[in-house]
Amino acid sequence: MSTKTMKRISIDPITRLEGHGKIDIFLDEAGDVANAYLQIPELRGFERFCVGRPAEEMPNLTARICGVCPEAHHMAAAKALDAVFHVDPPPTGKKLRELFYSIFYATDHTTHFYALGGPDFVVGPDAPPAERNILGVVKKVGMDIAGKVLKMRKDGHNLIQMIGGRRVHPNWALPGGVSRGITEEQRKEIEARGREAVEFAKFSIEIFNKIVLGNPDYVNLIKNDAYVHKTYNIGTVDANNKLNFYDGMVRVTDPDGKEFAKYHARDYREHIAEHVEPWSYLKFPYLKKVGWKGFVDGKDSGVYKATPLSRLNAADGMATPLAQKEYERMYDTLGGKPVHHTLATHWARLIELLFAAERWVELATDPEITGKEYRVLPTQTPTEGVGCVEAPRGILTHHYATDERGILTMVNLIVGTTNNNAPINMSVAKAAKGLIKKGKVTEGLLNMVEMAFRAYDPCFGCATHFLPGQMPLEVTLRNPQGEVIERLRQNLG
Amino acid sequence: MKTLVLGLGNPLLTDDSVGLRVVQQLKPLLAGRGDIEVEEDYWGGLRLMERLVGFDRAIIVDAICTGAAPGTVHTLSVDSIPTQHSASGHDVNLPTALDLGRQTGAYLPANENILLVGIEAEDVITFSEDCTPQVQAAIPRAVETVLAAVDAVGKQA
């Protein structure tokens, strides 16, 4: 190929990912990867849609933003309203919220491992795409697993409905607590399902141990330099610096694992800023006190990750015994803290699944959980407030301001996936660099690039429309005039 | 023949809500039919599959993005929908979900008894509770399409 040729490779669409994410890979004159970008259409006009509405609508409204994690938005919104209305929920109210949230987490992480991220490992990264799905997992692990996964999900959804009172979007958490409590009979049901969830999580980790860790090729893949990024990590911790999904302080650790910052959610703007790139609709959050230095690793770059692995890296451990054991095993296996191997995020997600299930049982057996004081009524004039929770895909921040009647005047959201926008792009670029040399695309590129960003469990779309037609994964190489010179395709399952 | 008419969509994302609007109009029209349930839902993939359990036939109404003129009403079969997400993300596609459900022994409508009615959307990424004009105008046509399909169901039963 001639010098100064800039080739462009597009991967579109991305399998198993919602929305219309598209990857463009740009080659330099030598035919090596200059850069790779994941472009995501951001949903538009949410702030404008919200301003002028009563703030109390937000837990309900934001839960409808997204069909994937309505519970996370519901919780972050309720916490932001606690702050806006200057009210602190009673212990039973907080515990019920965390119980609800733990059930949601266990359900969501189950879906990701078995339906989205897990197939790459369990079925194998080299398997044909048509087999790298949940059916492939069932074929490999056994029929039994299908029923278990569906039951786990169904139990979770049923309990969320039982507690939240609605099948679809929850309408339950309110400023100052929740709208209703649970009975002893319901508690028993929640506890029984929670104990099953712990067994399910243990079983899932066993599968991972046997199939992934038992295979040196997979372990090498996890440790492969193409999937390593030494960035800052962010996650929410409790008073003992143990991971918590629902509440606590936000902790940032540096690439060496040392604490860099620990702050209350309300101070997020002192710590997080957002960088804008002309080619992306989505912004790139970074650590303000380090600064934006581009899409680069290291201590001098403000890029941070907010994933299950980041949360484990940012915490000193897990708050439940079985998850703590698995936490220690992961770090022992991968050479100590922090771990920067992106693909270990799948492992971290399973440890979080176990933690969520254990926490579910702990809360379901807490003497206060059936208490009758689950809400305090707000009496002060509303002003401004921030609420944060750990969404499965990264820390989720809701920030609202209202006038004295509680009518919204400002809304700012930083959603889970957005936190990881810069590292996702870096991971895609790094994987592509390892597999495209001198204009030659190594077989398996599409799989490997996909695996790089799928580890982040990114979520870009909140609409449910059909995307019709055959949708093969496609790489197109173009010359500077835009003519197609090569097209690689693989059909998806 | 026990039939589910299911509208899918996000009520806040402009044209993405069209499937919900179509079934809202269908509810009173089909109220007398004991063999038909008309519902709204928000999920694709595994949850959509779980929603179909126990029915002989399903008609699913949702927004669709093919590049055709906004408001075009398409009818599709499960086999002709995309390889990836049929509706909603972060989940498996509908054909995969149906396969998985059947493998676990769930009673589900056969693929040929699932009809997808897709209304071509213009905008599914802007927050608004209103559809764009052409999509709004297509709602009566989509309602007719479903009613015709429902009658076909009745005749075959």
User: Which one has a higher pLDDT value, B50 or A64?
Assistant: B50
Query: Higher-confidence residue: A414 or A116?
Result: A414
Q: Which residues of A touch B43 (CB under 8 A)?
A: 67, 464
Q: How confident is the model at residue A492 (pLDDT cuts 50, 70, 90)?
A: very low
Flag if B81 and A468 touch (Cβ within 8 Å).
Answer: yes
Q: Say which range, A15-24, A201-210, A312-321, has the weakest mean pLDDT.
A: A15-24
Question: Smallest Cα–Cα separation from A457: which of A156, A127, A68?
Answer: A68
Distance of CA A34 to the CA centre of its chain: 28
- The answer, for B70 touching chain A at a CB cutoff of 8 Å, is no
* pLDDT-above-90 percentage for chain A: 57
| B76 Cβ under 8 Å from any chain A Cβ | yes
**Cβ–Cβ of B92/A133 closer than 8 Å?**
yes
pLDDT of residue A302: 97
> For A21-47, what is the mean pLDDT?
74
Chain A to chain B, count of Cβ pairs less than 8 Å apart?
160
Per-residue confidence band for A450, with pLDDT thresholds at 50, 70 and 90: confident
Tell me the chain A residues in contact with residue B23 when contact means C-beta distances shorter than 8 Å: none
Helix (H, G, I), strand (E, B) or coil at A159: helix
The DSSP 8-state label assigned to residue A284 in this structure reads: E
Residue A468 has pLDDT above 50, yes or no: no
- The whole-number pLDDT of residue A488 equals 53
Mean pLDDT of chain A: 85
pLDDT, residue B90, reads 52
Percentage of chain A beyond pLDDT 70 is: 85
Q: How far is A40 from chain B (nearest CA, A)?
A: 11
CATH number of the domain where residue B26 is located = 3.40.50.1450
Run of H or E residues at A218: helix A216-223
Rounded Cα–Cα distance for residues A350 and A424 (Å) = 20
A464 pLDDT band, cuts 50/70/90, is very low
Q: pLDDT confidence of A318, banded at 50, 70, 90?
A: very high
Tell me the nearest-neighbour CA distance from B77 into chain A, angstroms.
11
Tell me what pLDDT residue A244 has: 98
Distance from CA of B123 to the nearest CA of A (A): 10
**Chain A closest-CA separation from residue B119 CA (Å):** 9
Best of A464, A467, A471 to mutate (most B CBs within 10 Å, chain B): A464
What's the pLDDT band for A486 if we cut at 50, 70, 90?
A: low
Number of domains composing chain B? 1
Answer whether residue A118 shows pLDDT above 70. Answer: yes
Smallest CA-to-CA distance from A177 within A20, A27, A373 is with A373
CB-CB under 8 Å, A67 with B10: yes
Q: How many Cβ atoms from other residues are within 10 Å of residue A320's Cβ?
A: 22
**Closest A-chain CA to B116:** A466
Q: Are the Cβ atoms of A45 and B103 closer than 8 angstroms?
A: no
pLDDT band at A447 (very low <50, low <70, confident <90, very high): confident
- Specify the higher pLDDT residue, A197 or A135: A197
What contacts 24+ positions apart, CB below 8 Å, involve B139-142?
B139/B18, B139/B21, B139/B22, B139/B25, B140/B25, B141/B71, B141/B73, B142/B18, B142/B22, B142/B61, B142/B73, B142/B117
Per-residue confidence (pLDDT) for residue A292, from 0 to 100 = 97
Q: Which of A41, A49, A61 sits opposite B125 (nearest CB)?
A: A41
Buried b (16+ CB within 10 A) or exposed e, B39-74: ebbbbbbbbbbbbbeebbbbbbbbbbbbeeebbbbb
The answer on pLDDT for A461 being more than 70 is no
Residue type, A179: S
Partner-chain residue, chosen from B80, B82, B89, that has the shortest CB–CB distance to A68: B89
B100 touches chain A (CB under 8 A): yes
Report angle CA B138, B140, B146 to the nearest 5 degrees.
105
A157 or A13, higher pLDDT: A157
Residues of chain B with pLDDT under 50: 83-89, 154-157
Contact B96 A134 (CB under 8 A): yes
Describe the crossing of helices A184-207 and A144-164 by its angle, rounded to 10 degrees: 150
Residue A482, pLDDT score: 46
Distances (CA, A) of A200 to A134, A144, A350: 16, 12, 11
What is the pLDDT, as a whole number, of residue A10? 52
B154: closest CA of chain A, how far (Å): 26
The confidence band for A81, taking pLDDT boundaries of 50, 70 and 90, is: very high
CA B22 to chain A, closest CA, distance in angstroms equals 14
Q: pLDDT tens-digit profile of A237-282?
A: 999 999 999 999 999 999 999 999 999 999 999 999 999 887 777 7
pLDDT (mean) for A402-427: 91
The pLDDT assigned to A174 comes to 93
- Phi/psi zone of residue A169: left (φ > 0), alpha (ψ -120 to 50 degrees), beta? beta
**Residue A462 pLDDT > 50, yes or no?**
no
Residue matched to tokens 């295979």: A215
Q: What is the pLDDT of residue A1?
A: 35
Give residue A283's pLDDT: 85
Note down the domain range covering B101. 3-156
Q: What is the interface pTM, i.e. ipTM, of the complex?
A: 0.84
Buried b (16+ CB within 10 A) or exposed e, A231-266: bbbbbbbeeebbbbbbbbbbbbbbbeeeebbeeebb
> How much helix, strand and coil, in percent to the nearest 5, is found in chain A?
45, 20, 40
- pLDDT at A473 > cutoff 90: no
Query: CB–CB of B82 and A470 under 8 A?
Result: yes
User: Is there a contact between A367 and A223 (Cβ–Cβ < 8 Å)?
Assistant: no
For B66-76, what is each residue's pLDDT tens digit? 778 999 999 98
Nearest by CB: A493 against B12, B45, B96:
B96
pLDDT of the residue at A167: 61
Q: How far is it, in rounded angstroms, from Cα B152 to Cα B157?
A: 9
Q: Are A464 and B116 within 8 A, CB to CB?
A: no
Least CB–CB distance from A67: residue in B43, B81, B86: B43
Contact B8 A138 (CB under 8 A): no
- Please check the confidence at residue A328 and state whether its pLDDT lies above 70: yes
Question: Is residue B26 within 8 Å of residue B148, measured between CB atoms?
Answer: no
Of B10, B83, B104, the CB nearest to A471: B83
**Contact A466/B82, CB-based, under 8 Å?**
yes
**Helix A144-164 vs helix A70-84: crossing angle, to nearest 10:** 30
Higher pLDDT: A434 or A271? It is: A271
Distance from CA of B127 to the nearest CA of A (A): 6
Nearest residue, CB atoms, B82 vs list A45, A112, A468? A468
| pLDDT band (50, 70, 90) for residue A98 | very high
DSSP codes of every residue in chain B: --EEEEEE--TTBGGGGHHHHHHHHHHHHTTT-TTEEEEEE---HHHHHHHHTT-SEEEEEEEE-SSS-TT-EEEEEGGGS-SS-SSSSSS--HHHHHHHHHHTT-----GGGEEEEEEEPS-SSB-BSS--HHHHHHHHHHHHHHHHHHHHHHHH-
Q: Which of residues 132-151 of B touch A (CB under 8 A)?
A: none
In this prediction, residues A165-182 reach a mean pLDDT of: 85
- The verdict on a CB contact (< 8 Å) between B84 and A467 is yes
**Would you say residue A114 has pLDDT above 70?**
yes
User: What's the confidence (pLDDT) of residue A180?
Assistant: 93
Question: What's the pLDDT score for residue A169?
Answer: 62
Facing A67 at nearest CB: one of B62, B88, B127: B88
Query: In Å, how far from its chain's centre is CA B135?
Result: 15
Q: Distance (Å) from the C-alpha of residue B118 to the closest C-alpha of chain A?
A: 7
Token duo for residue B60: 């699913």
- Residues 116 through 135 of chain B touching chain A, CB cutoff 8 Å: 116, 118, 121, 124-128
pLDDT at A41: 63
**Closest to A18 (Cβ–Cβ): which among B46, B64, B90?**
B90
Q: How far is the C-alpha of A374 from the C-alpha of A25, rounded, in Å? A: 52
Contact B96 A460 (CB under 8 A): no
Domains of chain A: 8-44+427-490 (no CATH), 54-229+306-374 (1.10.645.10)
What is the band of A12 on the pLDDT scale with cuts at 50, 70, 90?
A: very low
Residues of B in contact with A104 (CB under 8 A): none
